[in-house]
Structure 1
Amino acid sequence: MLSVQGESLVGRLVNVTGDHEVVEGAVAGEASIKGQVVGWAPEEQHCMVRSFGGALLRVQSASLAEMEEEFDVLWPEGDNLRLLGKEVAECLAKKMHCLVQTFASYEVGSQAMEMARKRLGWRRFPKELEPSYLGQNAQGKILWLPADDPRREVRSPLESCDRLLSKLASGLYVECQDTLSFLPDGRSDALLWLPPKSQKEEEANLRQQERLGEEHVRDGQIEGHIDFVQSRKVCALYQVAGSANVVLHSAEGVPVHVALRRGQVLLFRHDLSTFSHEGSKDSFAMLTWIFSTGYAAEVQQLAGIIGKEADVASGVISGPLSPVNPLTGKTVSVMSADCMLAGNGVSPEEYWQMLVMGTDGCRHLSPVRWDPEAYFEPDKDIAFGKYYSNHGGFVVEEYILGFDAAFFGFTDEQASMLDPIQRNTLEVGYSTLLKAGWNRKRLGSANIGVYIGNCGTDWSGMKPIIPSELPSVSAEMMAFRLSAMSAHSTSTRLSYTFGMTGPISTSDTACSSSLVATGEAHNAIRQLDPGQKNITSSSGNTEHALAIGTNGLLGPFSWIGLCGPKMLSAKGRCFTFDYGADGFGRGEGTSGIFMQVTHEEPTERLAIFCGTNINQDGRSASMTAPHGPSQQECIRASLREANVTPADIRVAELHGTGTALGDPIEVGALRGVMKDRKVPIMKTSAKSNLAHGEANAGMAGLVKCVLMLNHHSVSPNVHFYCLNPHVDMNGYPCQISGELLDLGSNTGYAGVSSFGFGGTNARADIWAKAQTGFRKVRQVDLNMIENVTVRCPKCLGSMEWKSSDAVPSRLPKPTGQGRRLAHCVRESDNYDFCSHCYDGSYLFGQPTPEDPMPAGTAYIKGSWTAFSEFEEMKVEEGAFTFQVRLGETRLERFYIAMQKKEEQAIFPWHASGARGVRVKGPCAWETGHYFVVDGRDDEWPEGSLVKIKAWVEQRLNERKVSWEMLREEGGPREMPSFSHSYQVVGSLTQMKLIPMKAVRGLRNVFEYTTRLGLQSLETFHFMRDYDRTQVIYPARHLPRSSTVPVRGPDAGGTESFFAISGRQGDRLLLRLEVSDAHVTVSASQSSGTRTWHSQEGRMRKRFFVAGSSWDRRIAMDQDADHPDRYFAQVMVVSRTCAEEFQILLDEDPNRAIFPEAPRSTSGGSMVMGPESGKSDKKFLITGYPGTTFEICLDLQSENKWKTVTWRKLAEEAPKAIAF
């Protein structure tokens, strides 16, 4: 009997036990029909019931009985897919499987099975692959259906069943990222699965079943199978007809039994569990899988494919390969560019169109700027105190004078006073930054250097303050006027407006100003060798820089000054290289580039900075006369830095002002450097289009070079009709063209020169790929690269991208046959870890072993002797062993070498060197890769005797290195005898390493005495054994309190310093004591002594969550039972429903934990750090505003993908979020 009657029955699940009338569809004839009450008719006192077989029944309430739920989710009324997806996702998150009851028609299911039986092409999977799709001990045959198009009308029962799976998948897509922590990437085609009709048919199917062979390796079938296994996340098993018993096996080992009836869909996490399916004789099932390939999309960057490998993989068949610093593996890349130039070149795209068409961007002076009547005299010979040239490269006035004051935070009154080139710099600068991915929000406190070339304008003369108006001008506006009209405020204005904290510089070297600024920016962020320090700011190393050139023609006074010595062309143009060169035309505009240090091959990169140089003529013929030898040396120096030969340069963007004296000298200087070549160099100059942009000239030429290489074309020179007779081209392979030329290659080098009339010369050389047109390089094709590797998330060693086969220490010689395809199939379907970490068996193939260990003696070198000598290891039971006592820091590092040869070193694959990291070698030692014995975490006291053991496992010839403390009765019997040294460095020592003196009679106590200098604040930290990876520093930079703990020695504190203040000349005594890993730092002066102490044990680390929208950094709580786990709760507050974050050790951005792939979801990428965090690599949480998540940091996670995870907490009452 039912507990309720009447209208309250609607929505109830019921069994139909008595008489009923079929209104729609058909029933299967079971003794008990199950369904849901969907309506109530009070007049007739009967219910409308929708059966699970799709029929609509009219039933008296007396013929109904309550039904117990035998499923997890009921298909919602009206196909509410959003609700369906939410309920299924929550169920999957809770117990990894979900049984969905549908209302699919049994009749349609039977018809679908009959249609399926009539289809051709049924087969079985190869024996080794079948369990990955159909589970263990599967029987029957399979057939793939064509892809379902949800926009197409259903035309058959089989398509109706496939469409049901499409609806279910689309509802689940929305919830995957938030609830299941993966990004969905569509679903597979439907797989039909029919059992055999008889044992005889099953035996026939088995006889026809394939076995894997080498042909399956060659045709990529094994690799396709591994792709499937690595991408599948959720399997949807739809029992269309018949029934089945399904058993799910998870990692916990507790099997889950599910009775699957027709019309039901079982969804389960196929990436976390396996299954078996035993169907009835009339069983007919349909399967599909929801995929996630988020990590594979990042493989180009994550696999470390940079430089030449990336060029080959992207189809570079002509032209030089990309230059990468062989020592650092880094490049300085041009990530974006923007401009506001004459000829309507108000963007790089418009600029290129103007160049391609050979446009003359010069025009007549507009009277909007000033009244020319009082200043213009067309006769050059009598134009005393006036100008005779009234044409120039003018930017359209609406761009020069138009300005969105409110966006940049100015009042209309302030904007009217602001120098237009300051306005243009703000506009072009922000546009350039925005194209590189830096919006206004990200720019706040961003460590970006700003370098501007600016010679000033006539603006102050055009905006004088009339004495009679002085009383009406506020003091605030008078102060603003000083900065609004000064050239030096331009870079300051840009950084201040957007809150950037990097270094700034303004260059005024006349015509070479912008290229000088570019050279300064390049020098500030590049590194020529790994140990070189970057230019630093208060935010640490600068790896991003914005370089801008700007110039404005805003008044007549500078025109008059240049016309006096007859420097300007009467026609107001630059006739570069031409017989009619009579001086230069003036131009204006603003252009800029954004550059950054890149560690990978960014797809957004426009070009690579190869070399820059700046020099001075010195005392030449006159201060304004060009000096050929100095120009040559500037060009040669840039090429030396770029490590390219002059013959590699295909395009030369010349200064080319169009003067009778300057052009021949510049061409001669370039000839002296570039003449030995087989392919002609193409010479061009943007000044022929734009006139002489003065402070912006070099930057306009640099942007033009980037555009030419990106379009594999050289734009024509304008106004070139007859070669200047003073330009000597005899025997010099050179081409000056008046039409568009094809560069003839996929890549190329271009150089731009800029020479100031005061004698300051600047040069920049760049490399770029063609990004459009018929020579355009394609996206990286990984099949072109023989070894595509990623890191194993367990042992951190390299493994092949697809097969997860561990890469041997010494790679085999390239075969030139493209990428090595996957050749092994694992029994357990687990390809997360490399073959060294996988302990299961193989169904096909065997992984590549390491080479046999060479014979010889092993030697060890460690920090216990400051890496001063190799020491011989003993041989015990087939292993090399060595015993050492822990020093005062209880932290030791070492590596091993056969026969004392560093090219036969044994060391960890990853620089962390912790336990569990795979061992590499014997091969060439990689700088900084040490095994690390950390007695602090294991509570091993100073002087503990540690035994180091190295041996070879028989399986795969795997190298192993381990260490353990040997227990001594009563504790350590002796202390290490080696005396380590300590040094102090900071502003106190002018950043030089100064050795500290050991205090006589005290062990491991050191002192340094000095006097305070002129600065009110002096900084310092310490270094052990002159080793930059053993720094002792405060947990917080410039600590105000002595409660801030001491950290180190490690490599994380290079940017953190202690601080002390006092009177000039005051005596200062620094004292450092290191005992049993406890570090005490004291600073004594006349005003008193400040002392800092370290913290010991696993409680010494503090982590903070630094997010994009949270106004403060959130401290993480340490788990008392598991001290290597930390938790923090955060709330989504952004209107974008997304929060980006990194985890900082001690709130220090230089010790950040971040994902290898930008915007990684929970467990969606390898976790890096603590190290200097890349600002573009952050974790991404998505959810509605007010949703709370718990972030977990597990430092001992076996899988480094799972080091940082998060989960959504149970929803409470909605919270009001203020925007």
Structure 2
Amino acid sequence: MSYVPKHSPKTCGRTAGSLVDISGLPGKATPVPSAAVLGVQAVDLNGDSAQLLHFDKGLQKWIAATFSGRTIAIDGQHVKPVTSEAVANYDARLGGQLDFVLGPKSDYDLSGQEITAALATKGYALVKLIVAEEDAAAMLDVAKRLDDDQQFSRLAIEFERGYLGDDGNAKTLHIGLDAPDTPDYIKQSPLKTMDNNFGQMCSMLSKYSEEHLGFEVYSRTEMLLRMPLADHEEDKFPPADIDDGDAEGFMHLMYRRKLTVLQFVGPSDGALKLLPLKEGDEELELRAEPHTMLLMLNSRWEYSYTPSGESLALQTFMLTEPAIYCLEDEIQGNIEHLTGQSTGPPAPPGEQVTIEAMYCRYGMQADGRFQFWQGAAKASTDGLTEIPVSRWDHGPYFDPESSFGGSYTRHGCFGIEGVDLFDCKFFEISPMEAKGMDPCQRQVMEVSYMALLEGGYDKRSLQREAQHIGHFVGIDKDDWMCMSAAGMLDLGGAHGAAAAANAITSNRFSYSMNLKGASMTIDTACSSSLVCTHVSKLHLRFKDFEPMPASVVNGLNLMLYPGPFVGCCAAGMLSHEGRCFTFNSTADGYARGELCGALTFKLKQFNPQTGSICCLAGSQSNQDGRSASLTAPNGPAQEKCIKAVLRECKLTPTEVDCIECHGTGTALGDPIEVGSFKKVMSATPRKEPLVITSSKSNIAHAEGGAGLAGFFKCCLQVSNCEGAANVHLKVRNPHLDMEGFPCQILSESLALREDAAYAGVSSFGFGGTNAHAEAWGKNIMNSRGCMVSDPIKLFERKLAKAPPAEITMNGDDVRDWETTGLDPAGEIGDRYMIELDEDGVATWEKVDEELVDWGDDFFIQGTFNNWDAEAMERSDSLLGLWVAEIVLGSTGVEHFQIMADNDDEKVYCPERPNCASKVAQVQGPKTAPKEKSWVIRGAPGDKFKIEFFQQEKKRSILWMKI
């Protein structure tokens, strides 16, 4: 076995990274082979110092980097540990302040500790860098090339002090070494290595900065190249122009800047002065020798740097985390201003009638307004089918050739499945009575209740306390009554009189729900339900004696037996093809449809946040009087009705976006209707065409329920700001006179022009009673609208797009500048009031914390005590600490909030709902929903101790299992 010594004679016990003095060389030092290729000459290095890089076994020599930047190969016997005299030699030249030597093999962890210690003690550190001569020369060549390419420029005068120091004056260039547009000759130069060194220095210091310097290094700026301006270059490099955005960015950068790092490349040295900011410190003078680096705390020093000649310096700032704000959930003012979009025509003036609830059973299997909108606007569905055998066998009545007086059509829109079904128990109606009830009454009961419930009234509360709510039903025929008269039904018994009476259709619902307002069934033929809407509005507006808080309007039609089909065909009123070909050249009559829909109206101002869907902007009703015949439409009367509504709404025709036509698909009715609204809507010039739609092409003509169905669709169109397509429109009816009238009969859905819209509907009874109503609404249904989004998110989006804050630059010291934006000196917990004006300009104003009422006593509320506030106990040992205990219930989950002074406007809560984090930011005091609560999970019966700490804006929450 042979013995291996711990150190060979050649390595002499040295290790890579050691600092050594060089002595005893018999001649000039030999450059390493790679350096010799580059033309590096051998020099006498006796008395110099170096860092050992590695031992070359082939040469049997150490490869070392000298303090002067040469890489040499040297025998181990000519090096010895560095002496204080060698460091002092550099110390003297630099002003006696050298703190550290940093080379390729330095221990970064040790270096970070030492440099941080120097910064903590003196506020600055001066570091000697070991940089190869060839690297220094290459950096200067790149800088000269950039200068020749006119890449350098001068900073704004207001920025020079912050970037370049006191009385700083230089041409500069920011370089992103990782940016894709940075030329390769820069990325492949030693500047890339120097940039990496800045990054490494950032990592080295970040481990210790928070503990020793009081801040965390979050990031750094791009590397800045700076070179002095020659006397003849003043005119060549004029100061840059800046705007408020530049000034705001610079201001925040200067407040985030914690450390300035300057690396002096040379070739010239310079004078460096450190100017104290701390009272009692003295000004220091140092030498800015090539290949030294200054790290300076900006809270302790400013500096002045004057190079003695041509010189390149590299610079970066080490920054703290940028200021981050968290919006509370209190947004006040006009939310419409948050969108940055045009808001469209304004809401109807004065006291408004709003639609608070909508429910329908319409064709296309639509059960509710959302299904109806999908079918009509998105899928363009045709809901008509052959007459189902569950109603009657149409075979014996089908007479396509009109040979025996039957029905020449066998199609209709049977929109309600299970029309015979009814939840009589819910409405407290006996099965015996329900058995004989008119299916119209059953549908009204169920559909009107759904609308009433969405409007905020439920059966149980109405049973306890009656409401003066009105109920209005529009219906123009009752098959059940005709079937009874024909002997098809047995309506004898105690309940027979009410089973098929039209008055009871509306009255029964008012009775069942304990509604004391006006209750009536209205029959004006096809305009019945739209006339109901108008009458309902009049009752809501008449408040002299006993005002109505709300009204429910229902419009329906049911097809229960073949009689009306046979009768309408005898009059030639129905389409032979079994469809409503509204506005199409093949229009030959209407198709029958059944449906039931209801709306809840209230007299209140439109507010989607409180449930409003849209507004009934205006409505009117009139009569044809003595026209061509009893049943012939009368254009002038229809015009008069539409004009009256426009006057009521204080609208010009141009502001109306959409017309939902009566549009039955008859050869006579459609042209007269289009002619009447053409005259009215052409009174003022239009830039965009009027959109024309008709739901009858989707769900057929529901006769007495058709008017409300059209208004129902208008409500959906304005709340989506979208026009729905007509179906079966291929060739326009040649009798429609639209010449010179900017209108568009839709064959596909179309987004309306703005973020709010008016849509009107007309309905005409064949006996001459006309009605027209206008709906107004904002887009609250899709992502294009300003009202659909969370106001907090809208505010954040608008704030992000706000123009830069207004900066008042009082001199060149950024600490004297003023801003209307976020205070760059703000601290965690500071609160601001942010005002966004109509133009999107944001103004930040710090809230005076002395005016905030934090509370004197604290209470806890949550699911464990049914949200009844219970007093917390004040800690005797720690000021500001309040304690409570809770026991988990059977679910093992409890939610809680903290309340100050038993005041529900002074609640402390987490920033997000159902928060299980103990370190989440505590918000408040403010009004907060119960969803914004902390949640504790465990086993049922577990007991937890809750500690709430509050001293002004310092707040924390903690809970632990006992």
TM-score, structure 1 as length reference: 0.40
Structure number with greater CO (CA < 8 Å, separation at least 6) is 2
Q: Which of the pair has more CA radius of gyration?
A: 2
TM-score, structure 2 as length reference: 0.50
